[in-house]
Amino acid sequence: MQLWLRPLIYGILLSTFLLFLLPAVSNALFELYHLSKIEPLYYLYSGFKALSVYYPRWEFFEASAVMAGVLLALTIWAWRCRRSSS
């Protein structure tokens, strides 16, 4: 696989997750908590719920989600380039 393709895919996945999947993950954690009664799942649900409610209200929401994906892709790409050259 190309050296740049996998980091690009990871960056796109992170941006997609931040833009579209936060409410779905919080709802899934809520349901999973009620099915299993595992207490840390409720704390995860609370964090994801707060993030999914307040993060999209920020005026730089879209730009920060895309930038997080770009930064992740660049970090992985730089790490892989450094690792392959040594």
Give the pLDDT confidence score for residue 84 in this predicted structure.
81
* Residue 64 confidence (pLDDT) above 70: yes
Q: What is the pLDDT of residues 1-53, one digit of tens each?
A: 688 899 999 999 999 999 999 999 999 999 999 999 999 999 999 999 999 99
Q: Specify the DSSP element, H or E, that contains 1.
A: none
Residue 55 lies in a domain: yes
Radius of gyration of the chain (CA): 16
Give the pLDDT confidence score for residue 83 in this predicted structure.
85
Residue 62 lies in a domain: yes
- What is the C-alpha to C-alpha distance for residues 48 and 27, in angstroms, rounded to an integer? 9
Residue 27 lies in a domain: yes
Residue 11 lies in a domain: no
Residue 17 lies in a domain: no
Tell me how far CA of residue 58 lies from CA of 14, 35, 43, 61, 65, in angstroms.
Answer: 18, 33, 23, 5, 11
Enclosing domain of residue 69: 22-81
pLDDT, greater one: 82 or 50: 50
pTM: 0.84
Number of domains in the chain: 1
